[in-house]
Amino acid sequence: MTKDPGERPEWVCSLAAALECVRSQTGRRGSTAREAAVLVLLTDGPDGVQVLLTERSSTLDSYPGQVTFPGGKRDPTDADLTATALREAREEVGLDPGSVQILGSLPTTVDPTGKTTVTPVLAWSASPDFPEPVNSKEVAKIHRVAIRGLPASLASQLGTMTAEIIDAVLALMDAPTP
C-alpha cells in the first residue's frame, strides 16, 4: 500500500514506537456509536514537522468552517478504520494512499455529539501525492502547517477533537523513546 518514500526520519521512528506503546496499553471500548476515522498526515517541512488539516466548507451540516483532519464515517466496504481514513483523505483532498506510510492509530474517542467513535490514524510521508482535485463541496481549503505553534488564525478554528488529537501527537513526539 505504500511507495518507497525513502528512509524514515528519526522523529518518525520515535513517534511510531511511542504510538505502539500507547496502543498496547489501551483497549478498544465497546460502543454502539457509528465508527469513523481521521487521517493525521505528518511530513517534514521548513519549520519542522507539518500536519495536513482541512478547513471544512461552511455549507456542511457537521462542523461547518472548522479546521479538522480529513476523515469520516466507516463504509461497509472499508476493510478497517485505516482504510476509512485513507479513503476519506482521497475523497476530500485527493491524497494518493500509496504515497503515505501508516504509523498506527491513537486510541478511539467519542465525538462531542456522542454518536460517533473516531479513531485517529497517524501517517507519515516524505512526499505526499495529491493527484486528484480537492472536493470543494466538503473542503474549503487545505492547510499544511507546522504542528508546533499553529497559526492563531487556524488554532481558533480547530474543532475540540482536532485540538485534542494534535495535543496527543505532540505528547507522543515529546515522549522518551521506549
pLDDT given for residue 45 in this prediction = 92
pLDDT given for residue 6 in this prediction = 65
Say how many CA atoms lie within 13 Å of 84 toward its Cβ: 20
Per-residue pLDDT of the chain (178 residues; tens, 9 = 90+): 444 456 888 888 878 777 776 655 544 445 567 999 999 999 999 989 999 999 999 898 888 889 999 999 999 999 999 999 999 999 999 999 999 999 999 999 988 778 899 999 999 999 999 999 999 999 999 999 999 988 888 889 998 899 999 999 999 999 887 6
pLDDT given for residue 2 in this prediction = 44
Amino acid (one-letter) located at 126: A
| pTM beyond 0.75 | yes
Cα–Cα dist 54/71, whole Å: 10
Q: Is the dihedral of CA 142, 146, 148, 153 positive or negative?
A: negative
pLDDT given for residue 25 in this prediction = 52
Contact criterion met (CB below 8 Å) for 56 and 93: no
Amino acid (one-letter) located at 94: G
Q: Residue holding cell 457537521?
A: 62
Q: 9-25 in b/e burial notation, b at 16+ Cβ within 10 A? A: eeebebbbebbeebeee
CB atoms within 10 A of CB 53: 25
- CA 92 to each of CA 25, 76, 138: distance values in angstroms, whole numbers, following the listed order: 32, 18, 7
Taken in order of first residue, the domains within the chain and their CATH numbers are 10-174 (3.90.79.10)
The runs of H, that is alpha helices, within 73-176 are: 81-93, 152-155, 160-174
